[in-house]
Amino acid sequence: MTEKDTPTFQEAFEELEKLTKEFEQGEVGLEEGIKKFERGVYLSNLCKSRLQEVENRIKEVKHTFDAEDETNIQ
């Protein structure tokens, strides 16, 4: 899958919600369910990975801000 084919976080989350509703409503047959379950796992991992990236970035920014703040205090 290319980067262009990779859904954004929002797209992945919305598709995951849709798949969840389909399973909850019992609208999925066995064979189709397996494919959708695999897709759901992929989307879940994608969202988890993206959230981890964002968390790491926030930590970097906070660390930079804290370091600059300490420099300005001295």
- pLDDT of 8-41, one tens digit each? 999 999 999 999 999 999 988 999 999 999 999 9
Q: Is 21 among the domain residues? A: yes
Q: Is 4 among the domain residues? A: no
- Look up the domain containing 36 and give its range: 9-73
Q: How many domains does the chain have?
A: 1
Q: Is 31 among the domain residues? A: yes
Q: Is 63 among the domain residues? A: yes
Q: Is 3 among the domain residues? A: no
Task: For residues 6 and 25, give the distance between their C-alpha atoms in angstroms, rounded to a whole number.
Answer: 27
Q: Does the model's pTM come out above 0.75?
A: yes
At 25 the pLDDT is 94
At 73 the pLDDT is 65
Q: Is 2 among the domain residues? A: no
Q: Is 1 among the domain residues? A: no
Average pLDDT for 28-56: 97
Does 74 have pLDDT greater than 80?
A: no
> Residue 47 has which token pair?
């969202």
How many CB atoms lie under 10 A from the CB of residue 46? Answer: 20
